[in-house]
Every structure is written in structure tokens, then in C-alpha cells.
């Protein structure tokens, strides 16, 4: 399942450090993060996850960056059309 996450980041430095540590440690089995992007001031981020469920992604993301951002979660349908 694809899950889109919009991050409203209140502590950009803390968020980036927590995110980097989690990526270096490795994601749990069944999770991938193929898309993650942020604004130049690092106060807004958008991620597209592959995960088992919206709740599963929410639990993982909140455990890593929840104290640095307010996050919104959406089940997404990805268009595999031509680029």
C-alpha cells in the first residue's frame, strides 16, 4: 500500500537528525520510503511510503519524527503513467 505523509515541521534540525538516524538504522521489514522531499527551509515535507497500512506507517513515522512535526496520513493511488 502507498501512504502519503505531509509533515508540518516545527523543529527542522531535530526532524532531519531523527530521519537520518532511522534511515541509517534501516527500515523495518515491509516498509520502503521511495520518495521524501522538503521545502528549502525544511518546514514542510512530503513522503510517499510503501507499507502494510496507513496505521502501520503512522506508527513508524510518529515514533521517529512525531515530536518534531504535525503529520497527516493518506492512502494513495500512484499513477504509473508516462513521465
Per the CB < 8 A criterion, the answer to whether 56 and 50 are in contact is no
User: Residue 56: which domain range?
Assistant: 2-76
Give residue-wise pLDDT tens across range 31-55.
999 999 999 999 999 999 999 999 9
Residue 60 within a domain: yes
Q: Quick check: 82 pLDDT over 80?
A: no
Which residues lie across from 4 on neighbouring strands?
48, 74
Residue 54 within a domain: yes
DSSP string covering the chain: -EEEEEEEES-HHHHHHHHHHHHHH-PPTT-EEEEEEE-TTSSEEEEEEE-S-HHHHHHHHHHHHTTTEEEEEEEE-------
Q: Which domain CATH number covers 35? A: 3.30.70.60
Give residue-wise pLDDT tens across range 51-64.
999 999 999 999 99
Residue 83 within a domain: no
Q: How many domains does the chain have?
A: 1
Give residue-wise pLDDT tens across range 13-32.
999 999 999 989 999 999 99
Residue 81 within a domain: no
Residue 56 within a domain: yes
Amino acid at each position: 500500500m502507498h501512504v502519503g505523509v505531509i509533515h508540518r515541521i516545527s523543529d527542522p534540525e531535530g526532524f532531519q537528525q531523527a530521519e537520518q538516524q532511522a534511515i541509517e538504522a534501516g527500515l523495518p521489514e515491509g516498509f520502503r520510503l521511495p520518495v521524501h522531499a522538503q521545502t528549502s527551509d525544511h518546514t514542510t515535507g512530503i513522503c510517499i511510503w510503501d507499507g502494510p497500512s496507513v496505521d502501520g506507517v503512522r506508527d513508524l513515522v510518529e515514533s521517529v519524527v512525531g515530536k518534531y512535526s504535525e503529520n497527516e496520513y493518506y492512502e494513495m493511488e500512484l499513477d504509473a503513467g508516462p513521465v
